[in-house]
Chains A and B, each alone.
Chain A
Amino acid sequence: MNDMTPTREQREANLEGMGCKRKRVEDIRFTQGKGNYVDDLKLPGMLHGDFVRSPHAHARVKSINSDEALKVPGVLAVITAETLKTVNLAWMPTLAGDVQMVLADGKVLFQNQEVAFVVATDRYAADDGINKVQVEYEPLPVVIDPFKAMDADAPVLREDLAGKTTGAHGPRKHHNHVFEWTVGDKDLTDAAFRKAEVTVKEMISYHRTHPSPLETCQCVCSFDKIKGELTIWGTFQAPHVIRTVVALIAKIPEHKIHVISPDIGGGFGNKVGAYPGYICAAVASIVTGKPVKWVEDRIENLTATSFARDYHMTTEIASTKEGKVNGLRVHVLADHGAFDACADPSKWPAGFFNIVTGSYDFPVAHLSVDGIYTNKAPGGVAYRCSFRVTEAAYCIERGMDILAQKLGMDPAELRLKNFIKPEQFPYHSALGWEYDSGDYATAMRKMMESVDYAGLRKEQAAQRAAFNRGETREIMGIGVSFFTEIVGAGPSKNCDILGIAMFDSCEIRMHPTGAGIARVGSKSQGQGHETTWAQIIATEIGIPASDIMVEEGNTDTAPYGLGTYGSRSTPVAGAAIAMAARKIKAKAQMIAAYKLEVHEGDLEWDIDGFRVKGLPEKSMSMKDICWAAYNSVPPGMEPGLEAVSYYDPPNMTYPFGAYICVMNIDVDTGVYKVRRFYALDDCGTRINPMIIEGQVHGGLTEAFAIAMGQEIRYDDTGNVVTGSFMDFFMPTAVETPHWETDFTVTPSPHHPIGAKGVGESPNVGGVPAFSNAVNDAFSFLGSTHIQMPHDYWRNWRAAKNLGVFA
């Protein structure tokens, strides 16, 4: 070995494979303003569309007069429901099995609902046009409070469903009822509660909020009349699904539809569904023969496209006096707004909310969810969440704290007592899931030691004593959260979207010189796929990550995939990538054996190539094998080195984590200060620790926002009062606390590389940690549960209600 021969460590490092804190390759263009987003697209002759929207939450549309609008210079067309009816597109199907108005058909059901679409030669003319469209409304009584939606005399919202006693998910009990979904054994659960030594019950609300990505929803549609082809550039988290939906509803053959998601500025679930803007832009392009751009503004994004949460969860836990839980009963009132436009897998009307037993060994549980209609925007998207997992985690993590308080136990101790034990995995939960792997107690104890949990509780006791003596006006809260997620939707046996199984895919092509391209069915919106997917391939086939180009988002070139949301990219697409790489490696091994004149079985893998067992000097690098694949393959073998893999996961993955938040609250003003936030995540095998940390920082910042003030709120008449960033709490770097991150590694036993997914964990686990901290702070004053969001004035109100100012 001479000095020029790289060491094994150097060869390993050169790959920048799994475990490497590789810098994000996409950031080179993002940080220089060289990204390519939908709104950067300018096509010759491109037109612009904009919506006339309803000022009313519920009203009959008596008439729409476009005459004046059409006189505005530059305005070419005003599309209404009547126009759309001619192509049978006034209504569109939702992913949840409901239908939704594309444009107001006879009535409007929420404020800012799309009423007419004005098409003009530029963005200014379009806006001038919408101000000239005259719409006559007759206001109707509204349903805003979800708890009154199913009153006998509640106004009828969905007249289109009149007489329909069955919806997409079974019987409807009331004219404003969407579905009832039940899971678990009711009789056994009721029995457990009858026998219980201790029970707690609390209505825990997870308020309506919004993903609010930096880039709003937008598209450019271009219909080529000669070829009969429709090209759509859009902010789509799932471009292939959009292509299929368009084929199904627009009756254009699927091969003549080209969907392209360019760079996307954040999605967080906001960009999974189909919105009226897409349909209207496509119809406008077909009608005018010109490309049509539609770009949402911030107010439209916050008020019309896809809220999240709005779950009202009546939670009951049964336990022994010693704190061993023996039953969980949850009823959810789910406010879906005017149309059920949740983006859940089709068979799951409440997503995976049945993960609500959390990290605990509940022998029995029962869950029922009632979905209802109100005069609010449709949606119910998974905001950085795997389909209602955030709501479930909040429900059980608040519930466990409430139980601990009733038992007089420490909340961490209660959790340790009830964790599913490592030897119980794979664990079958009372509500039907098979948890793949976990070591909860180890993670919990590591967290407790890292923050000196016992010391914090001592400090809190001293602080409370000082408060009671009148020496301070600050109270201290310690919020513990231990969450288990269910991500990676999902196995074809239980997950599909509109009948398409939720697999994912990868195609790898290795070029003669040892570089290659990987096309994947997922679609990054900032997650860093171009970086991490190449790292998986680098480790699997021994080609440096920097020599692998990753491409996503073009339905003409990428294999069919179900897209990126629900932390499914690494569990599903990541597995497809590893499996495709292994096909490449298997063929490479045959080529290497042929070239080295040995039997395949005589070869062993060695970092970046194959070597002959026992003869390490006789080897062939993967780079050389790529060359050979194009000129000297074994007789009978096809040349080239390519592979495609479609991966149908055998199970979900179950990431988990232990979070803790330490917070002080000034009772006089309600102002809080997050003193410390520690997040330990176990996402199985870690592909890029730097990207994981970045994901955790981002998700925790969202969790902080949601728990401490971010909400979509309506007044009694259905006006949205949080329709801009002046009122919708979007923290800046100044308000955002410092984050401490940590980890344990419990690989998934069924995933090819053992990875579980991490993007959503911090949002899921963070919200209960913040809320538990606030609730823990107030608990010694006699409070059991304070609803989110915990902004300053509500904290003050809590203090006032607890008699602090008496």
Chain B
Amino acid sequence: MIPGPFSYHRPATLADAVKLLSTLGDEARPLAGGHSLVPMMKLRLATPEHLVDLHGIDGLKGIRRDGNRIVIGAMTTQHELLASDEIAKSLPMLHETVLLIADPQVRYRGTIGGNVANGDPGNDMPALMLTLGASYRLEGTAGARDVAASEFYQGAYFTALEPGEILTSISIPAPAAGHGYAYEKLKRKVGDYATAAAAVVLTMSGGKVAGCAIGLTNLHETPLLAAEAARCVIGTSLDEATLKKAAAAAEAIMSPAADARGPVEYRKHVGGIMVTRALTRAAGRAS
């Protein structure tokens, strides 16, 4: 539980950070909240020679409204998300889900950028970003580019980030007024990764589902969008048969690993239940 030797860098500008990361190459890792990286280093499962701490860079923090989108700086902490009126008003599902992340001490330090950029299938935020249709701004030596969250995750801890690139902000379209939302997470205890979790954003019209997106956490090596499941609830009043169909469609794309949270069959089974519960709760909230 003692990390190996490493050099510590604290650049003051994004350009310096990008430069450091591209010059130092594979042996350098950006450091945000450190909740994933530092424990991995203590176990020597990660042995970066250089840490590039992003805390000294102005402008990577903050939450602002940009027309119909909410833009969140990557170094914004989970605590700051919880304290934001803009988030509570425009993205209530994000507010609700951030509250499920561990405990206040962790949330004071943990950042949304680190959470989504790490590519950990256990993190809650990535599936939420898929469900909300978010995009990520990535900045590197070649300049900036925007990548949809749905295109970002390639495998466990593998993402669209190129060497030397830093995820600098997240842009989320504001969901329609009156939308229903829910994040249903089954976990064994506070601070645990999901055994299975589902995010739902939907709109209702005349008692029927008009639009719907469903995201899944920790049920595959990447977060998933359950597109087929979402399609089969459109136009329905979420009757029992439809819910069952949606759960089955979602389960069909799940491929979780067996671990102490349970065998594959159980995790898929409760994954389906999380989907039906999230759909039901979201519909109840829609107006």
Partners in one complex: yes
Instruction: Say yes or no: B1 contacts A791, CB within 8 Å.
Output: no
With A298-B1, A721-B260: A735-B269 Cβ-Cβ less than 8 Å:
no
Please tell me which one of the listed residues A50, A709, A797 contacts residue B188 in the complex, with CB atoms under 8 A apart.
A709
Q: Decide if B284 is an interface residue (CB 8 Å cutoff).
A: no
Instruction: Say yes or no: A669 contacts B2, CB within 8 Å.
Output: no
Instruction: Say yes or no: A124 contacts B189, CB within 8 Å.
Output: no
Q: How many residues of A contact B (CB 8 A)?
A: 31
Q: Decide if B64 is an interface residue (CB 8 Å cutoff).
A: no
- Residues on B with C-beta less than 8 A from A727 are 259-260
Closest-by-CB residue of A relative to B267 is A793
Q: Decide if A140 is an interface residue (CB 8 Å cutoff).
A: no
Instruction: Say yes or no: A793 contacts B1, CB within 8 Å.
Output: no
Q: Decide if A729 is an interface residue (CB 8 Å cutoff).
A: yes
Instruction: Say yes or no: B263 contacts A127, CB within 8 Å.
Output: no
Q: Which of A717-770 contact B (CB under 8 A)?
A: 721-722, 726-727, 729-732, 734-735
Instruction: Say yes or no: B260 contacts A796, CB within 8 Å.
Output: no
Instruction: Say yes or no: A734 contacts B190, CB within 8 Å.
Output: yes
Q: Decide if A224 is an interface residue (CB 8 Å cutoff).
A: no
Closest-by-CB residue of A relative to B2 is A127
With A124-B5, A128-B4, A729-B188: A792-B195 Cβ-Cβ less than 8 Å:
yes
CB proximity of A301 to chain B, nearest CB, Å: 11
Most B-side CB within 10 Å, residue of A298, A722, A727: A727
Closest-by-CB residue of A relative to B103 is A732
CA distance A454 to B22 in the complex (A): 72
CA distance A528 to B13 in the complex (A): 54
Please tell me which one of the listed residues B2, B4, B44, B273 contacts residue A668 in the complex, with CB atoms under 8 A apart.
B273
Please tell me which one of the listed residues B5, B192, B262, B270 contacts residue A128 in the complex, with CB atoms under 8 A apart.
B5
Q: How many residues of B contact A (CB 8 A)?
A: 23
CA distance A128 to B4 in the complex (A): 6
Instruction: Say yes or no: A735 contacts B189, CB within 8 Å.
Output: yes
Q: Decide if A84 is an interface residue (CB 8 Å cutoff).
A: no
Q: Decide if B10 is an interface residue (CB 8 Å cutoff).
A: no
CA distance A731 to B5 in the complex (A): 34
- Residues on A with C-beta less than 8 A from B193 are 726
Please tell me which one of the listed residues B3, B261, B273 contacts residue A793 in the complex, with CB atoms under 8 A apart.
B261
CA distance A713 to B262 in the complex (A): 13
CB proximity of B279 to chain A, nearest CB, Å: 15
- Residues on A with C-beta less than 8 A from B2 are 50, 123-124, 126-127
Q: Decide if A322 is an interface residue (CB 8 Å cutoff).
A: no
Q: Decide if A299 is an interface residue (CB 8 Å cutoff).
A: yes
Please tell me which one of the listed residues B1, B3, B189, B261 contacts residue A732 in the complex, with CB atoms under 8 A apart.
B189
Q: Decide if B108 is an interface residue (CB 8 Å cutoff).
A: no
Q: Decide if B106 is an interface residue (CB 8 Å cutoff).
A: no
Q: Decide if B186 is an interface residue (CB 8 Å cutoff).
A: yes
Q: Decide if A297 is an interface residue (CB 8 Å cutoff).
A: yes
Please tell me which one of the listed residues A126, A128, A735, A793 contacts residue B266 in the complex, with CB atoms under 8 A apart.
A793
- Residues on B with C-beta less than 8 A from A709 are 188
Q: Decide if B191 is an interface residue (CB 8 Å cutoff).
A: yes
CA distance A669 to B198 in the complex (A): 14
Q: Decide if A671 is an interface residue (CB 8 Å cutoff).
A: yes
Q: Could you give, for residues 294-314 of chain A, a 1 whenever the CB lies within 8 Å of some chain B CB and a 0 otherwise? A: 000111000000000000000
Instruction: Say yes or no: B270 contacts A669, CB within 8 Å.
Output: yes
- Residues on A with C-beta less than 8 A from B191 are 732
- Residues on A with C-beta less than 8 A from B270 are 668-669, 792, 796
User: What are the 7 A-B residue pairs with the smallest beta carbon separation, nearest first?
Assistant: A793-B262, A127-B2, A297-B1, A727-B260, A793-B266, A734-B190, A732-B190
Give the B-binding residues of A (Cβ under 8 A). 50, 123-124, 126-128, 131, 297-299, 668-671, 709, 713, 721-722, 726-727, 729-732, 734-735, 791-793, 796-797
14 more CB-based (< 8 A) A-B contacts, given A722-B260, A726-B192: A124-B3, A124-B5, A127-B44, A128-B4, A128-B5, A131-B44, A669-B273, A713-B260, A729-B188, A732-B191, A734-B190, A735-B189, A792-B262, A793-B262
